[in-house]
């Protein structure tokens, strides 16, 4: 399962990248608004930092298929044709995905705003590379986000659809773990939830104990590099 950062805060991205095994960054219009900066200013900075090979997912905002495809064109021109364009799965979005796939067989397409398995199924048939179910938002509707993602994964496998899940909208480690266990293609996670994946008082206490015991033998501040 690939791991992506769901944020446009360049400082947060720079802080997480050296620590966690990150495969890229996803954004959406709300995330860009939260950054308080002009979209292409912040997106260009993210692309420069993560490099040309890492995945960058940027969402279209146009509301018709024509307007979505114009957004795709500009996103590719600004950030590189390898950039994944996120297209919401409504009728206009499905039309845009089909037209984009036909016009640019190599385009990277992420179908987004997915709340139901049938949206994902149709997006995959239309030609999307990724389908992004919103795990926590589905839970908040009283449905089951993890179960929805598993149904989507099974639908893709059983129908031979070459589309991966990019699970989105996580609020806790358990949701991420359940999908890693199921082997979905990717998960995009907000910085606070990524940090929570290894935050554990028992681990911190164990490491403190190791340090204290070693220092009682060798002296304060001594590590293996300068022990006798």
Q: By CB under 6 A, is residue 28 in contact with ligand E4P? A: yes
Q: How many residues bind ligand E4P (CB under 6 A)?
A: 11
What are 18's strand-pairing partners?
A: none
What are 167's strand-pairing partners?
A: 187
Q: By CB under 6 A, is residue 85 in contact with ligand E4P? A: no
Contact between residue 123 and residue 97 where contact means Cβ atoms under 8 Å apart: yes
What are 166's strand-pairing partners?
A: 186
Planar angle of CA 103, 109, 110, nearest 5 degrees: 155
Contact between residue 146 and residue 179 where contact means Cβ atoms under 8 Å apart: yes
Those residues with Cβ within 8 angstroms of residue 18's Cβ, 6 or more apart along the chain or in another chain: none
Closer CB to ligand E4P, 104 or 136, in the complex: 136
Closer CB to ligand E4P, 37 or 214, in the complex: 37
Contact between residue 101 and residue 130 where contact means Cβ atoms under 8 Å apart: no
Residues 116-155 that bind ligand E4P (CB under 6 A): 132, 134, 136-137
Closer CB to ligand E4P, 83 or 169, in the complex: 169
d(CA 68, CA 157): 29
Q: How far is the CB of 225 from ligand E4P (least distance, A)?
A: 42
Q: How far is the CB of 27 from ligand E4P (least distance, A)?
A: 8
DSSP-based three-state secondary structure for 110:
strand
Q: By CB under 6 A, is residue 169 in contact with ligand E4P? A: yes
Q: By CB under 6 A, is residue 194 in contact with ligand E4P? A: no
Q: How far is the CB of 228 from ligand E4P (least distance, A)?
A: 52
Catalytic choice (2, 14, 86, 228): 86
Q: How far is the CB of 124 from ligand E4P (least distance, A)?
A: 16
The answer for 54, left when phi > 0, alpha when psi is -120 to 50, beta otherwise, is beta
Look up 86 and say whether it is catalytic: yes
**Single residue of 6, 55, 71, 129 touching ligand E4P by CB under 6 A:** 6
**Single residue of 168, 176, 187, 194 touching ligand E4P by CB under 6 A:** 168
* 115, 130, 86, 55 alpha-carbon torsion, rounded to 10°: 130
**Single residue of 9, 26, 148, 164 touching ligand E4P by CB under 6 A:** 26
Closer CB to ligand E4P, 63 or 102, in the complex: 63
> Mind giving me the DSSP string for 150-163?
HHHHHHHHHHT---
Active site residues: 86
Q: Which residues bind ligand E4P (CB under 6 A)?
A: 6, 26, 28, 112, 132, 134, 136-137, 168-169, 188
């Amino acid at each position: 399962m690939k791991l992506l950062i769901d944020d446009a805060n360049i400082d947060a991205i720079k802080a997480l990248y050296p620590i966690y095994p990150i495969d890229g960054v996803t954004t959406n219009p709300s995330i860009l608004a939260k950054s308080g900066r002009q979209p292409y200013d912040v997106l260009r900075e993210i692309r420069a930092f993560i490099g040309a090979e890492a995945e960058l997912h940027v969402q279209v905002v146009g509301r018709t298929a024509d307007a979505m495809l114009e957004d795709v064109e500009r996103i590719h021109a600004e950030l590189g044709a390898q950039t994944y364009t996120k297209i919401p799965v409504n009728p206009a979005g499905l039309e845009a995905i089909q037209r984009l796939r036909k016009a640019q067989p190599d385009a990277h397409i992420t179908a987004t705003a997915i709340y139901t398995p049938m949206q994902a199924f149709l997006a995959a048939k239309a030609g999307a590379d990724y389908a992004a179910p919103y795990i926590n938002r589905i839970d908040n509707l009283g449905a089951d986000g993890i179960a929805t993602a598993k149904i989507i994964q099974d639908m893709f496998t059983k129908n031979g659809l070459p589309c991966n899940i990019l699970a989105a909208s996580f609020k806790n480690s358990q949701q991420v773990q359940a999908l890693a266990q199921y082997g979905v293609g990717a998960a995009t996670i907000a910085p606070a939830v990524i940090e929570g994946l290894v935050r554990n008082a028992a681990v911190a206490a164990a490491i403190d104990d190791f340090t204290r015991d070693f220092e009682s033998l060798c002296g304060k501040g001594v590590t293996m590099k300068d022990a006798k």
